[in-house]
């Protein structure tokens, strides 16, 4: 199996998805190890649609996304 660095160096792109989060906090916890290891490239962005919310880190080569439930008011 190739490492993430090998994939990126050869021009590849890696997408990682987490679909099992119930809350935003839980989703952010899923991203935190990646945020730390990606350094300056690891900025978290929040997105929202009518169906769901998600947080993601997108470096251009690596995209890590954690979806979480929409809060009902």
Using a 10 angstrom Cβ sphere, with 0-12 exposed, 13-18 middle and 19 or more buried, the burial of residue 4 is middle
Which residue reads 């997108």 in tokens? Answer: 58
- What gap in Å lies between CA 45 and CA 56, rounded to an integer? 5
Q: Is the pLDDT of residue 2 over 80?
A: no
pLDDT digits over 4-53, tens only? 778 778 888 889 999 999 999 999 999 988 887 777 777 889 998 887 89
Q: Annotate 17-44 with b (16+ C-beta within 10 A) or e (fewer).
A: ebeebeebeebbebbeebbeeeeeebeb
Distance CA 51, CA 13 (A): 26
Arithmetic mean of pLDDT, 47-63: 89
Quick one: pLDDT band at residue 63, thresholds 50, 70, 90?
Answer: very high
Q: Average pLDDT for residues 50-69, to the nearest whole number?
A: 90
């Amino acid at each position: 199996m190739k490492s993430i660095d090998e994939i990126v160096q050869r021009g590849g792109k890696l997408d990682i998805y987490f679909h099992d989060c119930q809350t935003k906090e839980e989703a952010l916890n899923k991203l935190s190890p990646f945020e730390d290891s990606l350094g300056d490239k690891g900025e978290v962005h929040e997105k929202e649609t009518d169906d769901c919310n998600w947080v993601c880190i997108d470096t251009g080569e690596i995209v890590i996304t954690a979806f979480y439930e929409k809060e009902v008011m």
